[in-house]
C-alpha cells in the first residue's frame, strides 16, 4: 500500500517539473516577443513597450528591464533627401547580460556613433528598437519595426522638434530624485 502514494508523489513531482518547464518557456517567449522602442520623434520621455502576443503591463516591462538581459538592437535613421524618404538601419547584438543602466549607456554610445556617420542635412529623426534576447532576428522584421515608428511621424522635422521640446520640458518639470 505504500507504493501507491510514492507513485502519486512521483506523478505530482513530474507535473511540477512539467509546469516549471512550461512556465520557463512562457517567460522566454514573452522576453523574445517584448520590445522597447524610442526615438527623437516619440513624445514620451521613456521607451515605449509592446508585445504582439501578450499583454505587457508597465510593471511587467519594468521587471523585464530590471533583470540582466542580452539584447538585439536596431538603430534607425529616418532620412529625407528632398526627393525621397527612407530609413537606414544598423543591427547590433549584446551577447553578455547587461543591467538596465548598462544597456541605456550602451544604446546612447551606439546612437551617438551612428548619428555621427549620417548626413545630418538629411536626417529627420533617429531611434532605436530593442528586444531583451540577442538571438532575435530583427532584420527579418525590419519593415514591421519601421511601420511602428511611422505612427510617430519620423519624417516630419517639425514634429520631431516639438517632441524633443516636450520631452525636455517634462524632464525639467519632473521632481529630481534625492541623491
Q: In what order do the strands lie in the sheet with 35-39?
A: 48-50, 35-39, 123-131, 69-80, 85-98
Note the pLDDT tens digit of each residue in 25-77: 888 888 888 889 998 888 777 788 888 888 988 888 888 888 899 999 999 99
The span from the CA of 80 to the CA of 32, in Å, is: 32
More confident residue, 54 or 7: 54
Centroid of chain to Cα 98: 14
pTM of the model: 0.81
Task: Report, as an integer, the average pLDDT of 67-89.
Answer: 92
More confident residue, 74 or 15: 74
pLDDT tens digits for range 100-159:
899 989 999 999 999 999 888 898 889 999 999 999 999 999 999 999 999 888 888 888
Q: Which of 142, 136, 147 is nearest to 29 (CA)?
A: 136
pLDDT at 170: 77
Indicate the helix (H) or strand (E) that contains 168.
helix 157-173
* CA–CA distance, 54 with 56 (Å, rounded to integer): 6
Tell me, what's the pLDDT at 14? 64
Q: Which residues pair with 129 in a beta bridge?
A: 37, 74
Between the CA of residue 109 and those of 116, 121, 122, what are the distances in Å? 11, 21, 21
User: Counting Cβ atoms within 10 Å, is residue 116 exposed (0-12), middle (13-18) or buried (19+)?
Assistant: exposed
Compute the distance between CA of residue 84 and CA of residue 178 in angstroms, rounded to an integer.
Answer: 48
Amino acid at each position: 500500500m505504500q507504493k501507491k502514494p510514492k507513485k502519486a508523489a512521483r506523478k505530482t513531482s513530474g507535473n511540477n517539473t512539467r509546469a516549471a518547464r512550461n512556465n520557463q518557456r512562457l517567460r522566454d517567449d514573452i522576453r523574445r516577443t517584448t520590445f522597447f522602442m524610442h526615438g527623437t520623434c516619440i513624445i514620451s520621455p521613456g521607451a515605449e513597450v509592446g508585445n504582439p502576443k501578450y499583454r505587457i503591463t508597465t510593471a511587467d516591462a519594468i521587471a523585464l528591464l530590471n533583470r540582466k538581459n542580452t539584447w538585439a538592437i536596431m538603430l534607425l535613421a529616418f532620412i529625407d533627401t528632398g526627393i525621397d524618404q527612407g530609413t537606414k538601419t544598423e543591427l547590433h547584438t549584446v551577447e553578455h547580460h547587461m543591467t538596465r543602466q548598462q544597456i541605456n549607456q550602451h544604446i546612447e554610445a551606439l546612437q551617438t556613433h551612428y548619428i555621427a556617420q549620417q548626413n545630418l542635412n538629411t536626417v529627420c529623426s533617429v531611434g532605436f528598437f530593442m528586444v531583451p534576447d540577442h538571438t532575435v532576428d530583427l532584420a527579418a522584421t525590419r519593415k514591421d519595426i519601421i511601420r511602428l515608428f511611422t505612427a510617430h511621424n519620423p519624417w516630419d522635422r517639425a514634429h520631431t522638434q516639438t517632441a524633443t521640446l516636450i520631452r525636455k520640458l517634462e524632464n525639467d518639470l519632473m521632481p529630481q530624485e534625492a541623491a
